Amino acid sequence: MSMNNIVLIGYRCSGKTRVGKRLAEQLEWKFVDTDSLVEGLSGHTIREIVHQEGWERFRKMEQGVVSAVCKAERTVIATGGGVVLESANVDRLKETGWVVWLKCADSVLTERMVRQMERGSVRPPLTGTDCVSEVTPVLTGRKPFYEKACHITVDTTHLSIDQTVSTIVTAMTGAISG
């Protein structure tokens, strides 16, 4: 297992970006968010990409970004929630990083998503319904992918950002010394 990078996986609103930024700051590492990189490269939001070209096109773009960021070192990588659906992504991420699944209760994910929507951040639906009602069924389907992709799981349901970062650092330290 490589410790070049720390890769955060998990469902939408599980805290990957916020935790990732804080973790990178604490470790004095770089931070990248694969969704932001896709948006930056395409000049479009993920919502626009999906609406205009579909999820398949977004996933292809995401795969290219994952391939590029895996070449980094001492980087905390926050991934899109569906990155684990492509086995090539998982293989690359696991080869070059320590993969942490930020797991969270469906109800908390839903609350966070509703708050984001109230602030004007609208994510494209994954199933053709709406983002909030699809949380439980999509998460249920993705759970085995997250479980297979991760080295460790951190349940963020009742943890603050700082508590989550501390849990990851403690586990990482144990993995390095163990």
CATH number at residue 46: 3.40.50.300
Instruction: Report residues of the chain scoring pLDDT below 70.
Output: 1-2, 121-131, 176-178
**Of 19, 15, 16, 13, nearest to 110 (Cα)?**
13
Structure token digits, residue 106: 């469906």
Residue 178 lies in a domain: no
Tokens 């950002």, residue? 161
- Does residue 147 lie within any of the structural domains? yes
Confirm whether 98 is domain-assigned. yes
What is the full DSSP assignment across 26-64? HHT-EEEEHHHHHHHHHTS-HHHHHHHH-HHHHHHHHHH
The pLDDT, as a whole number, for residue 127 is 58
pLDDT at 2 (0 to 100)? 58
- Return d(Cα 104, Cα 127) in angstroms, integer: 20
Domain count, the chain: 1
Residue 177 inside a domain? The answer is no
Phi, psi of 172 (to 5 degrees): -65, -45
Q: Taking a C-beta distance cutoff of 8 angstroms, is the pair 108, 160 a contact?
A: no
Asked if residue 166 belongs to a domain, the reply is yes
Which domain does 132 fall in, by range?
5-172
Amino acid at 93: L
Q: Residue 57 carries which side chain, given as an amino acid letter?
A: R
Locate tokens 């508590």: which residue? Answer: 163
